[in-house]
Each structure stands twice: as C-alpha cells, then as structure tokens.
Structure 1
Amino acid sequence: MPAREPLSVVIITYNNADTLERCLREVDWADDLMVLDSGSSDETVAIARRHGARVATHPFDDYGPQKQRAIDMALHDWVLNLDADEILSPGTRGVIEQALVAPTVAGYRLPRRERMFWGVQHRNSHRNGHLRLFDRRRGGMNHVEVHAAVEVDGPVRTLHAADFINDGDADIAARVEKINRYSSGLVANKLRRRQRFTGVRMVLYPPVFFLRQYLFKRYFLSGWAGFVASATGAFYVFLKYAKLYEARRSAHGGDDQPRV
C-alpha cells in the first residue's frame, strides 16, 4: 500500500476501565494514541499506558472542550476521534488506511452501530454516519451542549465499508439514565435557539421518531432489542420537548396559559 497520512487516535476518559481495553485493542496500529483523562480512580490510565498511549490529565468541564483539548494534543493532523466505549469493527482499519492515502477531503464519516442492551444493532439496519476521521487543520469540535461533534471546512465522504460499534448502555436502566441526563443538558441550547411549536413537537415527534427508527431504519431486524431501542429513543425525544416546555413555563411564572 502507498504511504498514508500519519494518524492520531484521540480518546477522553473517566473511569472507563470496563470498555477502554476493547477500544484500544482495535486502534493500537495507529501512529499516535492520545488519551486525555479526567482523574479516573479505576484502571483506566494503566490500561491506556499498557497499550502505548500518551496520557494527560485535565479536569472535565464539558464534552466538547475536553475533546478539543485532546485533539490539540495529538501529534498528527489527521485525527480519529473515538469515545472510550467505541470499538472499530474488523476490516475498518484497512478502509481507514486506504482513505488516508493522499486524501482529497476534509474528513470522513464512519457508520456507527449501537449496542442495543443484550445485543448489537443489525448490520442491515440503517447506520448513522458520524464525522470521526478528519484533518484538524480544517476543523474541530463545535459548541453544542451534550451533543458536541466535529465540524470541518471542506468536503466530507462516508466510508460505507467501515464500521464502529458504540458499546455503551449495556441495559435499559443505563439508557434511561443517559436519556434523562442528556435531555436536561439540551434545554439551554434549545432556549437560545428559540425553538418554536414545543407543544406540537412534544405530541407529534415521538411517534414519528419511533416509526422512523423501527420501520424505516429497520431496527425491527434486531428483534425486541430494536423495539426497546426505538421506544426509548422516542421517549428521549418526548423528554427534550417536555423539559423545554417546562423551562418556558417556569420563565413566565408557571401560569397555565398554553404556549406552543
């Protein structure tokens, strides 16, 4: 294979000993592993060092800024941005290495499969693409609360033959806890955007979301796990708009006048 661009993998961690081993095992071929820890009390740091990663520590303030710090600490300009509970699927290494031979784009999306409690999302269901492989000279993390993501200035391609698995949310309780935390974190952003028709969205969007996930994105291929994932996703959508509606009522004195 012709020479490719050198690659840094960046990961932020906090007490991720249960997933970090699998994550690093699939990327230890990279030219640089950068782990930015937030003060873990478990074996996270020891695992990172065992895989040859450079480890730095910085107190966690928010997801986006912490990720950007890790990106800035990378040794190389082409960066693969992963979470500590994300694992490259077999064969993805070769796809990434080929993409980094004289790249002509600013970044690449990688399809992601979700852990669905007792199983993993079926390969033939729809996999959302996430911009994770990019040239940091042309982009970085945006400033969206909770769901901060990479944005780049330039064209982006999707590596359809690549794949990675989000290995979080091992059970329904963990998913519901995350849903509650994330939906609260998004309220400030939605208030700033002055998002309208909150009540209508709260009523109509959850069932639409469920049908889109379960039928059109083919989550039904994952059996009951796909049904539960679609239902909890719809609940997440409901909570986002319910909490936004609640925040707006509180800002107006909590009266009973309807506001949509």
Structure 2
Amino acid sequence: MSESLDIIILTFNEERNIEACLQSAAQLKANIFVVDSGSADQTIAICQKYTSNIFHHPFENYALQRNWALGNLPLTGSWVLNLDADHRVTPELAAQLNGIFSEKVAPEINGFLISRRTMFINKWIRHGGHYPTYHANLFRRGFGMCEEKLYDQHFKVTGKTQVLKTDIIDVITDSLTSFINRHNHWATLEAQYQVEQQNAPALDDKGQLVHPRLFGNPMERRRYLKKRYEAFPLFVRPVIYFIIRYFFKLGFLDGTTGLVFHFLQGFWFRFLIDAKIYELRKEAKKQ
C-alpha cells in the first residue's frame, strides 16, 4: 500500500521563480497547494497552470503562514512537503521520494531531513560548512510544525526522522541588491529575537523550538552550534565565524563567487545583526 503526499508552496510576487519551482514539484506524485499573500504580478496565473489548489492568506511572518497552511488547507495526503518559490526539487530527490512513498513508510519514521543545495549567482556553494545543510521540510501530516521564530525557522517534527541523501536546490538570490535587502530585513528580525531571548531564555523549554543537542540530528546539532555562537561577545563572533568558515572549512574553494557569498552571508550579515543588537541595547538604556 502506497503513501500519499501533499506539497505546500508559499508565494508573494514570485513570477520569476514560481514556474521552475512548480515544474520541479510536478515530478512528484503529489497534490500541490499554493498559499499566496497578495501577489500583484503573474504569480497566480502561473500557478493556475499547475494546480487549482490556490488559497489566499495575509502574511504576518513566515512561521505563522506555514502553520496556518498546515492547519487550514484541505490536505488529504499522509505526508506534507513544504517548499518556497525559490526551491527546486532535484530529479534525484523526486525519484527517491516517489520510490519511498510507493510503499508504506516504517511507522516509527515521522519525518525526513533533506539538504539544501545553495545556489548563489548561479553557483553551487559546496564548501564553508554550507553543504549539506539539513531541514525537516517533509513530515507526516499532524507531526510537524514551523518554529515560531521571526528568522531562521526550522520545522519541528514529533518523533523519529531519517536523513535523505538527495537535495532541494535553494536559489537564494537573483541579484546582490535583492540579497542585501532581504538580509538587512532578516538581520533586524534576528537582532530583535536575540534581545528578546535575553529576557525569556526559557522559550526552548516549551517545546516550540528545535532542541539544541550536540549529538542530535543535523538540525539539532546546528542549533546547538548556533547557541554556542551566540554566547560569544558581539562583533568578535562574526570575525571568528568567518575565519572558521572561509579558511578552516575551505570556503575559499568556492572561488570568487564563493568569496562574495561567504563574506556577505558569513561575516557582513552577522556583523549587521550584532550592530543592530548594539543599537537596540543603547535605545533600551535611554528608556
């Protein structure tokens, strides 16, 4: 007896990205659901070529949008795959998932961890500890939810997960201007979150977030390392992180494009977060 699969894709003015995403998703034997948050371009028209399951919901933040979709769409599949418009299902992943779901999945498995293959200015970033990077995009319906964080959210799965060896392609930018604007926005959210965590450090204990564990699954291990990173002093930690990532983890092997990516994403972005934390702390002292 086979398993059934639903795919949820979030959109907002994604006419440049969405068709390639939908074409890749069509390789899977699945029902495709699109949740749009007010696109004013050709996004909806493109989606209508691939699915009639198009729903509209105002966007507050990524986590709330994801969890609204999981709780309110008329899903019928026993499994849910969560994609963004800039994701691409590789042929290898599609073949593997079609094979897995052609039979019953072991009942103790409630989720699959899939690595993202980051594409930056048409180059696959293979080094600097950036690949493989696993996410729990795929889980049994009712056994997964998105962390309620403003930035760097992961899907949290209840029960055992299994690591897959095939990838989702993540096309993270169409231009440096877009990359910088998005990361400036995300730096603001991450700075706010870290400052708030200083006053509410017990949030992890409520079970809302992926638990940081050094010897856990790849997501739990990465969350543990992030917590260790956050314990270092502001402005020192991005320097140390970039040195480790670019030199010790061989980020330099990604060439000139890799230098741009690792510097912007591995140093500038994190330095900007620290600067915004510094600014928030100074403003708090004035009150």
TM-score of the pair, normalised by structure 2: 0.80
Task: Give, in whole Å, the separation in 2 of the partners of 1:60 and 1:221.
Answer: 39
**TM-superposition CA deviations, 1:154-205 (whole Å, max 9, x none):** 1112102x11111131222222111110010122321221189989532221
For 1:202, the equivalent position in structure 2 comes to 234
Alignment of 1:20 with 2:18, yes or no, is yes
1:107 and 2:99 equivalent?
no
Q: Is 2:261 the partner of 1:239?
A: no
Determine if the alignment matches structure 1 residue 4 to structure 2 residue 36.
Answer: no
Query: For residues 202 and 106 of structure 1, do their structure 2 counterparts lie closer, same or farther at Cα, with a shift above 3 Å needed?
Result: same
Match of 2:172 in 1: 168
What is the distance in 1 between the residues matched to 2:283 and 2:125?
39
Say if 1:202 and 1:237, in contact at 8 Å, map to a contact too. Answer: no
SS in structure 1 opposite 2:270? helix
SS in 1 for 2:137: strand
Write the letter of the residue equivalent to 2:7: V
Aligned residue for 2:45?
46
Q: Per the alignment, in what secondary structure is the counterpart of residue 10 of structure 1? A: strand
Aligned to 2:56: 57
Task: Give the match's secondary structure for 1:158.
Answer: strand
**Residue 82 of structure 1 corresponds to which residue in structure 2?**
83
Task: Give the whole-Å Cα distance in 2 for the aligned partners of 1:136 and 1:94.
Answer: 21
Output the CA distance in 1 between the equivalents of 2:139 and 2:250. 29
Q: Which amino acid aligns with 1:166?
A: D
Percent of matched pairs sharing the same residue = 25
Q: Which amino acid aligns with 2:270?
A: V
State which drifts further: 120-129 or 171-180: 120-129
Q: CA RMSD in A?
A: 2.4
CA distance in 1, matches of 2:268, 2:81: 31
Count the aligned residue pairs: 251
Give the letter for the 1:23 counterpart.
Answer: C
User: Once the 2 structures are TM-superposed, how far is the Cα of residue 53 of structure 1 from its aligned partner?
Assistant: 4.4
The secondary structure found in structure 1 opposite 2:91 is coil
User: SS in structure 2 opposite 1:137?
Assistant: coil
Cα deviation, residue 65, structure 1: 0.9
Distance apart, 1:107 and its partner CA: 0.8
Residue pairs, 1:191-230, within 5 angstroms? 191-194=195-198, 201-230=233-262
Q: Which consecutive residues of structure 1, in runs of 5 or more, have no partner in the other structure?
A: 255-260
Kindly indicate whether the alpha-carbon contact (under 8 Å) linking 1:13 and 1:40 is maintained by their aligned counterparts in 2.
Answer: yes
SS at match of 1:147: coil
AA at the equivalent of 2:142: R
C-alpha separation in 1, matches of 2:30 and 2:91: 19
Q: Distance in 1 between matches of 2:20 and 2:52?
A: 14
Do 2:81 and 2:139's aligned partners in 1 also have CA atoms closer than 8 Å? yes
Q: Could you say which residue in structure 1 is the equivalent of 2:186?
A: 182
How does the TM-score come out when normalised to structure 1?
0.88
Distance between the aligned counterparts of 1:125 and 1:203, measured in 2? 21
Amino acid at match of 1:131: A
Give runs of ≥4 in structure 1 deviating > 6 Å.
195-199
Write out per-residue CA displacement over residues 114-149 of structure 1, whole angstroms, 9 at most, x where no aligned residue.
121242224997221111011131121110112232
